[in-house]
């Protein structure tokens, strides 16, 4: 795809010149893939720098729907797509994922990126059944980031290419976690037999059921095979190529995964993911902090209502027919796990916290069209915590669990005719939206600026459908 001229587009006022980062500003699934599809024509290079197969980013373009988990969403647009060492990857899934794009050769991966093995996935399941239930995606994220952090158990992309070294590293990891893996193996065996008796679909066995040596060998064989297929995508140091690329005048999009409220350090701990998800951390993991456009390069994707997958406090959650309506109209089912997403009203307190702590300046509001099917949507403008009204986001998950949302009725957002709104939007910007939607966007913007203290925060575009271009840009 050739690069479109930005100067003649309504995006010109809003997009960055050098490097920009886009992250989710809630609990994930805000529509990061949709944003990437809109701005891809103006970009030269795409980057993913954290997370891994736990994410699912949807790109819908030219009649085709892509689900990206590890590969940057920009790969759908046949442009260089770089995966940096900050990620953790499942190599088999990665190879499969690359095959959905027309030209997989655009994808490169840093040789130091950590590998998720079947054993990491088994131990993710073990943690969920024998400790705090976080509701993880069971993709092995936590255990793989643990291996990275403890260094001694780290297996990298480079290790995949050397069979002997790989065998040593796999044996090292499996032996270190042998007791839990064998326990998990027994449990999986029982579940598999039970399911067989009941004529149910078999489950994928992730733990050792026939001895540790055979288990290690099966992991090595699988990983070595994947490594051979990925070998020509592996590069030594992605930060060299990215920094050179900026210096050559290219425009780069760094695509975050999950959402700021799932950040390992400043999210709703411990109900979070195992990597950092703020804009600053995501840029740093790409080696591009210094190159980011300070004015226009810090984007947060914000859903017009709230969703969350897995456990953890969710003050505006609707466990009633209104929540069910949102789930149905917004097709809120996990891109990675298929789990129904929990749904609720837009939470200005939580999102404003994410804007400030996650270093967002520009917002891209998605799925306002979904609200037209729920009558009178509400917005949470403050919390009542232990008898006190506050707009401060509690940092303790137990306190957040007690927070009661104070809700402001917003009135109907109006019916949005996508085609007509997009057409009129080219001339009128947000003026093309129904009055109710405009009011909603303005209220979200002013609440976020006010509560976060980020006084120059603005919503620069509003997404009104899942397909590329179903968007109104502020003029």
Question: Rule CB under 6 A: which residues touch ligand GDP?
Answer: 24, 28-34, 55-58, 60, 301, 331, 335, 366-367, 369-370, 463-466
Binds ligand IMO by CB under 6 A, chosen from 258, 278, 351, 452: 258
Q: Are 144 and 120 in contact (CB under 8 A)?
A: yes
Using the minimum distance from each CB to ligand IMO, give the nearer residue, 138 or 356. Answer: 138
Residue in this structure with the two tokens 């953890």, named with its chain if needed: 312
Which among 4-12, 22-30, 175-183, 208-216 is the span making contact with ligand IMO, rule CB under 6 A? 22-30
Using the minimum distance from each CB to ligand IMO, give the nearer residue, 36 or 378. Answer: 36
Bond preceding residue 230 cis, omega within 30 of 0: no
> Which position among 14, 57, 177, 233 bears the catalytic label?
57
Using the minimum distance from each CB to ligand IMO, give the nearer residue, 50 or 421. Answer: 50
Using the minimum distance from each CB to Mg ion, give the nearer residue, 72 or 185. Answer: 72
Q: Is 49 exposed, middle or buried (0-12, 13-18, 19+ CB in 10 A)?
A: buried
Binds ligand IMO by CB under 6 A, chosen from 137, 278, 351, 437: 137
The yes or no reply on residue 310 touching ligand IMO (CB under 6 A) is yes
Q: How far is the CB of 396 from ligand GDP (least distance, A)?
A: 27
The yes or no reply on residue 335 touching Mg ion (CB under 5 A) is yes
- d(CA 423, CA 122) in angstroms, rounded, equals 50
Q: How far is the CB of 463 from ligand IMO (least distance, A)?
A: 15
Q: How far is the CB of 393 from ligand IMO (least distance, A)?
A: 18
Helices (H) then strands (E): counts for the chain: 15, 20
Q: Site mask, ligand IMO, residues 32-71, x = CB under 6 A?
A: ----------------------xxxx--------------
The yes or no reply on residue 29 touching ligand IMO (CB under 6 A) is yes
Q: Is 57 a catalytic residue?
A: yes
Closest CA to 436 of 409, 407, 458: 409
Closest CA to 336 of 71, 53, 26, 131: 53
Q: Are 300 and 23 in contact (CB under 8 A)?
A: yes
Give the count of beta carbons closer than 10 Å to the beta carbon of residue 133.
12
Q: Are 353 and 263 in contact (CB under 8 A)?
A: no
Q: Site mask, ligand IMO, residues 140-179, x = CB under 6 A?
A: -xx-------------------------------------
Q: Are 429 and 473 in contact (CB under 8 A)?
A: yes
Q: Is 151 exposed, middle or buried (0-12, 13-18, 19+ CB in 10 A)?
A: exposed
Using the minimum distance from each CB to ligand GDP, give the nearer residue, 34 or 121. Answer: 34
Q: Is 162 a catalytic residue?
A: no
C-alpha distances in angstroms, 256 versus 48, 87, 263, 299, 314? 6, 11, 11, 10, 22
Helix, strand or coil, per DSSP, at residue 426: helix
Out of ligand IMO, Mg ion, ligand GDP, none, which partner does residue 309 contact, by CB within 5 to 8 A per kind?
ligand IMO
- d(CA 445, CA 461) in angstroms, rounded, equals 11
Helix, strand or coil, per DSSP, at residue 193: helix
Q: How far is the CB of 169 from ligand GDP (least distance, A)?
A: 31
- Can you give the binding site for ligand IMO, defined by CB under 6 A? 24, 28-29, 54-57, 134-137, 139, 141-142, 257-259, 262, 273-274, 309-310, 335
- Can you give the binding site for Mg ion, defined by CB under 5 A? 29, 56, 335
Positions annotated as catalytic residues are 29, 57
């Amino acid at each position: 795809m050739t690069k479109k001229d930005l100067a003649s587009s309504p995006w010109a006022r809003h997009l960055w010149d050098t490097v920009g980062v886009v992250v989710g500003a809630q609990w994930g699934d805000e529509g990061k893939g949709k944003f990437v599809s809109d701005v891809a024509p103006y970009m030269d290079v795409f980057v993913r720098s954290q997370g891994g197969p736990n994410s699912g980013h949807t790109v819908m373009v030219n009649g085709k729907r892509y689900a990206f988990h590890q590969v940057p969403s920009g790969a759908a647009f046949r442009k260089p797509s770089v995966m940096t060492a900050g990620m953790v990857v499942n190599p088999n899934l990665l190879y499969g994922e690359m095959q959905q794009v027309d030209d997989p050769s655009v994808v490169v991966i840093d040789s130091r990126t950590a590998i998720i093995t079947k054993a990491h996935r088994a131990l993710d399941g073990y943690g969920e059944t024998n400790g705090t239930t976080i509701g993880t995606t069971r993709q092995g994220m936590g255990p793989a980031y643990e291996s990275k952090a403890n260094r001694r158990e780290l297996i990298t992309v480079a290790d995949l290419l050397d069979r002997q070294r790989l065998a040593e590293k796999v044996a090292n990891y499996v032996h270190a976690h042998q007791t839990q893996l064998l326990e998990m193996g027994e449990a999986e065996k029982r579940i598999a037999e039970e399911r067989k008796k009941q004529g149910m679909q078999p489950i994928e066995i992730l733990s050792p059921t026939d001895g540790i040596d055979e288990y290690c060998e099966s992991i090595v064989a699988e990983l070595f095979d994947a490594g051979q297929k990925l070998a020509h995508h592996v590069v030594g140091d992605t930060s060299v190529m990215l920094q050179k690329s900026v210096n050559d005048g290219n425009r780069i999009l760094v695509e975050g995964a999950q959402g700021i409220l799932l950040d390992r350090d400043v999210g709703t701990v411990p109900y979070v993911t195992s990597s950092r998800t703020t804009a600053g951390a995501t840029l740093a993991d790409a080696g591009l902090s210094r190159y980011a456009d300070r004015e226009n390069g810090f984007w947060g994707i914000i859903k017009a209502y709230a969703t969350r997958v897995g456990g953890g406090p969710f003050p505006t959650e609707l466990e009633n027919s209104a929540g069910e309506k949102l789930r149905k109209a917004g097709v809120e089912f996990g891109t990675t796990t298929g789990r129904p997403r929990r749904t609720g009203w837009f939470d200005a307190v939580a999102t404003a916290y994410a804007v400030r702590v996650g270093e967002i300046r520009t917002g891209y509001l998605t799925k306002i069209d979904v609200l037209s099917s729920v009558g009178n949507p509400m917005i949470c403008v403050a919390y009542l915590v232990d008898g006190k009204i506050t707009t401060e986001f509690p940092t303790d998950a137990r306190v957040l669990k007690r927070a009661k949302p104070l809700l402001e009725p917003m009135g109907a957002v109006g019916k949005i005719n996508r085609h007509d709104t997009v057409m009129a939007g080219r001339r009128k910007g947000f003026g093309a939206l129904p009055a109710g939607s405009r009011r909603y966007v303005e209220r979200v913007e002013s609440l976020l600026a006010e509560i976060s203290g980020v006084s120059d925060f603005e919503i620069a575009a509003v997404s009104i459908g899942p397909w590329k271009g179903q968007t109104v840009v502020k003029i």
